Amino acid sequence: MIAGPDLQCIFCRGALDKTPRFIVTDKLALGRKIPYRFHRCSLCGSDILAGGVDEGENSKTYEENYMFSMDEKGGRLRKALQKAEWNLFYKRTYLSDARLIEKYMGGRRFRLLDVGCGSGLRVKCFGEYGFDARGIETSHPAVEYAANKLGCDVRLRSLRDCVIARESYDIVTSYAVLEHITDPSVFIADLVKLLKPGGLLLLRVPLAGSFQMRIFAGSHSLYREAPRHVWIPSFKAMTENIEKFGLSLIGHRSEPLLSAASHASLSLFPMAANAIAVKVGLRGVFYRLVGALLAVFPGIPLALADSFRGVGAHTDFVYRKS
Ligand SMILES: [Zn+2]
């Protein structure tokens, strides 16, 4: 069970405010308008999903096509759109992610594990960039796509499996995963166990304090990922008291500009979400075109304002293992 309003923060165990900060509905729940309540933690400032959703129920809310891949069914128009999105958003983001790691590691020839790697497109990019990269993922279709279609070293394993096998890496990354985890402290501690001393941990998380999440508040697409998003961390949660995990913070940044702006566009236009758009035929191509290519413009000034502060709707936190 996820912490109720009278219980504790799932991250720092602080007390949650009694009154919900936002009541949101799942943007992917076409027709099913279940309200989800986010309560702010009085200690770390994160927003915690309350209301007794369990992990088993949560797993049923992931639509097919939740993760972007280049393998979705559809005609030439949809394929062309996918290619445009790949070039405009995903490829640029993954390259930027690789450059950030290179900047902190001072090179490329390192052993890297991406935890919760989805369809493996980032692992493939990291491999092409020069990292010795592999991924783990718990979604069977995603692993199948990554291993068979992309030819990546992506396996159907849990983080626990890797810890038990005493694996060790120079770099461990986890992009947009922590906010799905109901016991994030255990998850971070396990990520650290996989790192060599001096190794690098990179976590990308949605951030409660970013401009765009404050402006859109409960209508922001990353809050409306409830119940899959069980918490939205604060800057304080990601930066204070992290020594207890054996980590030191060495940097943070907003994710690349267009990707950051795309969260604002999905907040304005939720029907453009990939999992919805692929379901509704030709209308979906239109939703995606508007959402990904037009509605992204109003998000750019917000994303720019966030990037100057080094935080964003998604923020990368880079830590070194002591
Ligand atoms: Zn807390």
Q: Is 167 a member of any domain?
A: yes
Determine the distance separating the centroid of ligand 1 and the alpha carbon of 190, expressed in angstroms: 19
Cβ atoms 130, 171 nearer than 8 A: no
Tokens of 20: 């919900």
Cβ atoms 259, 265 nearer than 8 A: no
Determine the distance separating the centroid of ligand 1 and the alpha carbon of 239, expressed in angstroms: 12
Q: State phi, psi for 15 to the nearest 5 degrees.
A: -75, 145
Determine the distance separating the centroid of ligand 1 and the alpha carbon of 276, expressed in angstroms: 32
Q: Is 17 a member of any domain?
A: no
Q: Compute the distance between CA of residue 97 and CA of residue 103 in angstroms, rounded to an integer.
A: 10
Determine the distance separating the centroid of ligand 1 and the alpha carbon of 262, expressed in angstroms: 28
CATH number of the domain residue 203 falls in = 3.40.50.150
Q: Compute the distance between CA of residue 12 and CA of residue 29 in angstroms, rounded to an integer.
A: 30
Helix axes 257-268, 91-105, angle to 10 degrees: 140
User: Element (H or E) spanning 288, and its range?
Assistant: helix 281-288
Determine the distance separating the centroid of ligand 1 and the alpha carbon of 99, expressed in angstroms: 32
The residue whose two tokens read 């060599």 is: 196
Determine the distance separating the centroid of ligand 1 and the alpha carbon of 9, expressed in angstroms: 5
Determine the distance separating the centroid of ligand 1 and the alpha carbon of 185, expressed in angstroms: 11
What does the DSSP 8-state code read for residue 118? T
DSSP E strand boundaries for the chain: 22-25, 35-40, 47-50, 111-115, 132-137, 154-156, 169-175, 195-206, 231-232, 247-254, 314-321
Whether the link from the prior residue into 184 is cis, omega within 30° of 0, is: no
Determine the distance separating the centroid of ligand 1 and the alpha carbon of 274, expressed in angstroms: 31
| Nearest CA-CA partner of 17 in 26, 25, 8, 28 | 8
Q: If DSSP codes are grouped into helix, strand and coil, which group holds residue 41? A: strand
Please give the tally of structural domains in the chain. 1
Determine the distance separating the centroid of ligand 1 and the alpha carbon of 123, expressed in angstroms: 32
Determine the distance separating the centroid of ligand 1 and the alpha carbon of 182, expressed in angstroms: 13
Q: Could you give the C-alpha distances from 241 to 39, 302, 315, in angstroms and in order?
A: 21, 29, 18
Determine the distance separating the centroid of ligand 1 and the alpha carbon of 188, expressed in angstroms: 15
Q: Is 16 a member of any domain?
A: no
Determine the distance separating the centroid of ligand 1 and the alpha carbon of 8, expressed in angstroms: 8
Determine the distance separating the centroid of ligand 1 and the alpha carbon of 233, expressed in angstroms: 8
Determine the distance separating the centroid of ligand 1 and the alpha carbon of 130, expressed in angstroms: 38
Residue ranges in 89-158 assigned as alpha helix (H) = 91-105, 121-129, 140-144
Determine the distance separating the centroid of ligand 1 and the alpha carbon of 236, expressed in angstroms: 9
Q: Is 200 a member of any domain?
A: yes
Determine the distance separating the centroid of ligand 1 and the alpha carbon of 2, expressed in angstroms: 13
Tokens of 196: 């060599």
Determine the distance separating the centroid of ligand 1 and the alpha carbon of 44, expressed in angstroms: 4
Q: Is 113 a member of any domain?
A: yes
Determine the distance separating the centroid of ligand 1 and the alpha carbon of 42, expressed in angstroms: 7
Q: Is 26 a member of any domain?
A: yes
pLDDT along the chain (322 residues), means of 10: 65 94 83 86 95 63 65 72 82 95 94 96 96 96 93 96 98 97 96 97 95 90 90 96 94 91 85 72 75 77 90 95 94
154 forms bridges with which residues in the sheet? 135
Q: Is 133 a member of any domain?
A: yes
Determine the distance separating the centroid of ligand 1 and the alpha carbon of 40, expressed in angstroms: 8
Determine the pLDDT at residue 259.
Answer: 87
| Nearest CA-CA partner of 177 in 156, 153, 149, 158 | 158
Show the domain range for 82: 22-321
Q: If DSSP codes are grouped into helix, strand and coil, which group holds residue 122? A: helix
Q: Is 72 a member of any domain?
A: yes
The residue whose two tokens read 């007390």 is: 15
